[in-house]
Amino acid sequence: MSLFEQSSEWQPSVKIHLIVNLRSGRIGRNARLLPRLRAAIAAQGLDAEVSVTEGPGHGTELGRRAVAGGAARVVAVGGDGTMNEVAQALVGGTVPLALIPCGSGNGLARNLGIPLCPLRALALAADPSAPVRSMDTATANGKPFFNAMGLGFDAAVSHRFGAGTQRGLAAYAAAVLREFSGRRVERCAVSCGGTRTGMDILLIAVANSDQYGNGAVIAPGARVDDGSLDLVAVAPVGVCGALGLAARMFVGGFDRSPSVTRLRGPLFVIERPAPGLIHADGECRTEAAVISVAVVPSNLRVVAPALRA
């Protein structure tokens, strides 16, 4: 299916505000997409405004302006990082988030069943009859994320991928291979429900949805509306073990590997030897040695055809 396939799903529209990140996804793709979106808006007579982000954090500012300007829905056009910025302007409010997934992985959009064709996603975002649902969000040391966060190897790969000039699954796989050769083992402790467990880890991920993106499922069955988060810890593995885990992400059963520990709960406290990198929805930052990760139930409204069972 072409990314620019025409949609047959146009309906009378509500007032929407699109916030576009031209740097998301494959280089240049969103720059080519923008005039297509503008043309569709004009052709269908949609009540829509379009803004383009200019740098980190700008998506949140634009989201707040969109709400203040009377938008009925605010539409993030980009990947999980763009979604994160725009959603921060909407948490706890009544204006729903809609997504036009144009990033490298689009993990949350895939979990929510958002069409990957941008024009179909635009039609859904503008459709007044489209379902609007409440989903959980999460925080890591008080800062919000919506799909997944991680540390260790997980964060190192995100950092390398984000610093590169290429996007897409192939570029992400290349970042994985480069980081794996220099992988480090960390001794961590995870507290959940009154139990504290020490473990040697290659990575820890805490997921709100079921996947990173591109169909790489790390927490099978995880839901964004169950009031819980899923922590997945991967023990140190060699090349063969890593290949097996990578395959399980795409064919199923990742959490059934003996190298994987999975915990579910509303709050996790992760202790590691020193401050270091984490990623939140693929965006990296340095955090303290102790990271408190908590769910915030039902505080973001999203336009989504179905929350995954």
* Domain ranges within the chain, ordered by starting residue: 16-130, 143-298
* pLDDT for the residue 156: 80
186 counts as catalytic: no
Contact between residue 136 and residue 54 where contact means Cβ atoms under 8 Å apart: no
* pLDDT for the residue 157: 77
Q: Which amino acid is at 254?
A: F
Annotation: CATH topology of 16-130:
Rossmann fold (3.40.50)
Contact between residue 125 and residue 193 where contact means Cβ atoms under 8 Å apart: no
Contacts of 195 by beta carbon, 8 Å cutoff, 6+ apart? none
Token look-up 């991920």 returns 205
For residues 12-40, give the mean pLDDT: 82
Which has more pLDDT, 186 or 167?
186
Answer whether 16-130 and 143-298 agree in fold: no
DSSP state of 7: P
Contacts of 163 by beta carbon, 8 Å cutoff, 6+ apart? none
**pLDDT-wise least confident of 7-16, 221-230, 231-240:** 7-16
* pLDDT for the residue 2: 44
CATH 2.60.200.40 fits 143-298, yes or no: yes
Task: Give the model confidence (pLDDT) of 206-232 as tens digits.
Answer: 999 999 888 889 999 999 999 999 999
Please pick, among 85, 179, 186, 283, the residue that the annotation labels catalytic: 283
